[in-house]
Structure 1
């Protein structure tokens, strides 16, 4: 972050079309900290007074600060013997402009993550929560577990990667000395605009209910509908809305608590989320410490009722949550509210990393209600971790084209697919720059056959390289994978990038005579090979698996589908003995007759054409 000690990049929670609150902050005038529970309210009071005096205050509270407001709110003891404060705020005279990207080559950041919570432990925790619900102790518990990892590279590069992976929302990067918070949370905790007497409008927007994004436009729309119409997801959201209505009533003017928007579905890069708005007008005399006393921690990360849910969380979770599930934000003067007015905006720090040196922690969790299924919740956790997968290692977008005698095969379709991937991952795309890059390469390879790799980096810079392309003899031999392809539904499968470790794990052994590996998903559905699509002759016609099975929609496949020479159909492992012919398909090599090597499957020795 160069000389910046904090960055704030917040949406305007009251107007999606308004400019973002996007500032940097340098060395603070002073720092306010609370290391004991009894110091937390005083810190919040001092923050409020500083903002009313015209200063900007950036910081937050750890989840373990909750008993400062109510001793009945159970939490674990602080980590590191209390080295990290329960509340921390830096006081600044004014914000600075957002820093420009450094000139030269972009910095990289990489994270090596430890193994996540074992599935058996996850299932056991869910069973205990279900038992507690059956006993009437609570209605919902937000169960979480930490991921631990190690960072190599610059923290500012990691924050930039996190913002690309999870754009929008309420992002902040704050250096708190002992720890650093890197948050790209999409969830608003509260936005409070108060006059000098503490009277003003307060908005909370709890986020409960999750569905993974779909593999295609139709599948994505179906996922949104399923989330919106799911009784379980709706109940999960409404329970927390009721909790926050009750919490807000503690500081609200009578009759002012309202729910103007309920069960709204919001599209994020890797998941659909359900949110609701709960609004109120605070009573005269309300202070920032009163707002936190009424609301903290946010009910969306505890469950309901809050006291019983937090007792369950302390019993189920192995250690403190830290900044995760606490609150991070900014308290600032509000000129629109008159002299002494303030605006306080805090996120709920989900999708948030806490850094100490090279060590990183990131919590993942979900709300568990009656009827929740362990497999579905486990998939939800995986979907919520997807932003980390994006940010943990740099990658470029990739297209592989055939260049023959100065002409690129299916160039327009490849560029359209590259542009779709750029939009999906938030990479800038300049069609003119990409076309110019390819033109220069064509001029250098005007004759012969070439394999072209077109790459686009996170900053939208294209580059292209070419190697000689030799003809491939057919039929080629494909070997059926020995295990399911767990990454079938990953965005790094649906879009072609240089992140190919999940494919490399299934690559044939050199010298085996096997051309490629035939993959299938965890439902036993055939998907693709590690670098091409598959076609099978079944019941007299040529078919290829649909995108919903989990595969890269190749350009060669797209051409054959458009021409009507290939049709989409689900193909399972049980169907393999009935297949009358096989072919490997991609844009680079075209159509290659194939044989499949698998138990119970008869190889096709003769070339079959369509």
Structure 2
């Protein structure tokens, strides 16, 4: 996968030929980053200069940047406060053109990739809060409201997951589930931001400032739009933020120009209805980006009211920095006249936004808390807002291969336990009792011969459907030969990424592994051995690997990026073997007294590893990009 590139899509699902509101940017001329408060003014000045030079800007602003403009110390600043890119041009496109561009991006990524990039998804989903912890925080907010410290607090928490497959394909899948006016896919050398925000922060259009605060939520199921528009609690939430935005815009607007032309409009966003209002004004002359942000940032809908005091409360309540979640993603066009400090611009509130670094994905979710809030309902609202991500159907299926000997499936419970764990990790439904019953029914129904060996394969589809097949188990040579996978399928495709979560599970996305052992068979062997991005030995295409020197046995640890094999676990638990888990280099394997491979079909098998020494030169890798 090509991660050494920068491209940005600002994606409006309503974009059409008559109104091209989606934007594509590529090949930035400049990248500007502020990590500390001391760098903020300089970076903003760089952005303003780039605009004056006729360049187009896309910028990411973190929530913690708001501390700079509100004289607060927020967070530990472990992440950038501002990242901005300057481009020579922007391509304005329709939704159909965006669809085509996304498909082309996936095709480009697929060149040289070792896996199917359409099998994207997330797994290992967890949160930094549970319902009980959430309730305690809400009670603290109530205390602050009763003490008169705040009227409303936008309280948030984080969802974490591991992502696999192409970030572009993942974006496309999430985009289908949560189409939005302010979608964004930002790709910058392995760092990805995927936003599905429905919330308009501020627009500057030929001197008119326009903000659309979004506050007020109701589940679509069992409701109609008027239920939300008439709800007193949600209307109160919304009007508080409208008043806050009126005040913010008033600081940089012509006297008497601030108006609220629309109140309590309802729109559907995925599985929820959201309430929005519109605030408009005429911007004063000589207002640049710094003064604009100083007046309005961050958006009041993600803080609460009053803004400054509530941001202090949020800092004390929340466990970690928000980062780009609850910040803003914006485009800024060049100044229209020499006397202007700002041209047209549009900024969204970066809610419903996932940030990916490598395979690690972080997603924030929250809601506005007032004295009338019910913590159980607020908790449900947060889970509903995150559901388009956390309930994304798996991009891969799972399978198990089991030895049948004497009509008995060997280590069946071990295999089912592993399958259940993996299914839970990928969000695939799986009933262990039903599965075990289906396996025994299949064995009885197929009338297999007791004196022969068979291979039973269980496949679990992403939707949770089972397929069970039984085939004869062929004999193998008593001393089978193994090769380096690089010798069989090439250097680039044989390097596994230990950070890729799919390597730790027996998924149906195993093309490169299957190709390695099939190529080995063509050369009269049995398997190909893989190396990870650190140059450590991992496993074979269908086996785990052990080396022996005297009475000392070693095998790579799971953390190197390999499958926790059922037979591997049994061998490690064997007290007579005394296996040590330790990272192994190719040299360790070549210089071992004996090398063994294992899986639950074959058991532990000593191999001919003479070809590994002759193929060592193929492992002289250059720097490995993310696999």
User: For 1:333, what is the secondary structure of its paired residue?
Assistant: coil
Figure out how many residues of one structure are paired with residues of the other and give that number.
397
Name the TM-score, length of structure 2 as normaliser.
0.58
Shift of the alpha carbon at 1:299? 0.4
Partner of 2:120: 109
Task: Provide the rounded CA distance (Å) in 2 between the counterparts of 1:278 and 1:30.
Answer: 34
Task: Provide the rounded CA distance (Å) in 1 between the counterparts of 2:17 and 2:229.
Answer: 24
Matched, 1:184 2:191: no
Check whether the contact 1:152–1:358 (CA below 8 A) recurs between aligned residues: yes
Q: What pairs with 1:529-568 in structure 2 (closer than 5 Å)? A: none
Partner of 1:510: 437
Shift of the alpha carbon at 1:108? 2.4
Deviation per CA, 1:2-59: give whole Å up to 9, x if none. 686232334499x999624323222211111112213213322322332233211112
Task: Provide the rounded CA distance (Å) in 2 between the counterparts of 1:31 and 1:353.
Answer: 21
Q: 1:90 aligns with which of 82, 85, 101?
A: 85
Task: Provide the rounded CA distance (Å) in 2 between the counterparts of 1:503 and 1:371.
Answer: 40
Shift of the alpha carbon at 1:259? 0.7
Deviation per CA, 1:515-537: give whole Å up to 9, x if none. xxxxxxxxxxxxxxx99xxxxxx
Shift of the alpha carbon at 1:502? 4.8
Task: Provide the rounded CA distance (Å) in 1 between the counterparts of 2:266 and 2:17.
Answer: 18
Task: Provide the rounded CA distance (Å) in 2 between the counterparts of 1:66 and 1:320.
Answer: 12
RMSD: 3.2
Matched, 1:129 2:141: yes
Shift of the alpha carbon at 1:500? 8.6
Check whether the contact 2:286–2:341 (CA below 8 A) recurs between aligned residues: no
Q: What pairs with 1:149-188 in structure 2 (closer than 5 Å)? A: 149-177=161-189, 179-188=191-200
Partner of 1:355: 356
Q: What pairs with 1:187-586 in structure 2 (closer than 5 Å)? A: 187-194=199-206, 200-214=207-221, 219-221=222-224, 224-333=225-334, 342-391=343-392, 393-394=394-395, 501-502=428-429, 504=431, 510=437
Larger radius of gyration: 2
Shift of the alpha carbon at 1:503? 7.6
Task: Provide the rounded CA distance (Å) in 2 between the counterparts of 1:52 and 1:36.
Answer: 25
Cα 1:268/1:299, change in 2 over 3 Å = same
Check whether the contact 1:7–1:22 (CA below 8 A) recurs between aligned residues: no
Task: Provide the rounded CA distance (Å) in 2 between the counterparts of 1:271 and 1:89.
Answer: 32
Check whether the contact 1:12–1:18 (CA below 8 A) recurs between aligned residues: no
Deviation per CA, 1:500-555: give whole Å up to 9, x if none. 94585896973799xxxxxxxxxxxxxxxx99xxxxxxxxxxxxxxxxxxxxxxxx
Task: Provide the rounded CA distance (Å) in 1 between the counterparts of 2:268 and 2:54.
Answer: 36
Shift of the alpha carbon at 1:320? 0.4
Task: Provide the rounded CA distance (Å) in 2 between the counterparts of 1:135 and 1:16.
Answer: 50
Shift of the alpha carbon at 1:352? 0.4
Shift of the alpha carbon at 1:395? 8.9
Check whether the contact 1:112–1:392 (CA below 8 A) recurs between aligned residues: no
Check whether the contact 1:331–1:344 (CA below 8 A) recurs between aligned residues: yes
Shift of the alpha carbon at 1:123? 0.4
Partner of 2:557: none
Task: Provide the rounded CA distance (Å) in 2 between the counterparts of 1:17 and 1:312.
Answer: 46
Matched, 1:51 2:63: no
Deviation per CA, 1:118-173: give whole Å up to 9, x if none. 11100000011011111111000000001111111111111212211211311112
Q: 1:119 aligns with which of 131, 135, 160?
A: 131
Partner of 1:454: none
Cα 1:74/1:502, change in 2 over 3 Å = farther
Partner of 2:76: 77
Shift of the alpha carbon at 1:66? 1.5
Shift of the alpha carbon at 1:91? 0.7
Partner of 1:62: 62
User: For 2:183, what is the secondary structure of its paired residue?
Assistant: strand
User: For 2:103, what is the secondary structure of its paired residue?
Assistant: coil
Cα 1:287/1:12, change in 2 over 3 Å = farther
Deviation per CA, 1:351-377: give whole Å up to 9, x if none. 101111111110010000011001110
Name the TM-score, length of structure 1 as normaliser.
0.60
Task: Provide the rounded CA distance (Å) in 2 between the counterparts of 1:145 and 1:255.
Answer: 39
Partner of 2:532: none
Task: Provide the rounded CA distance (Å) in 1 between the counterparts of 2:249 and 2:380.
Answer: 33
Task: Provide the rounded CA distance (Å) in 2 between the counterparts of 1:306 and 1:392.
Answer: 38
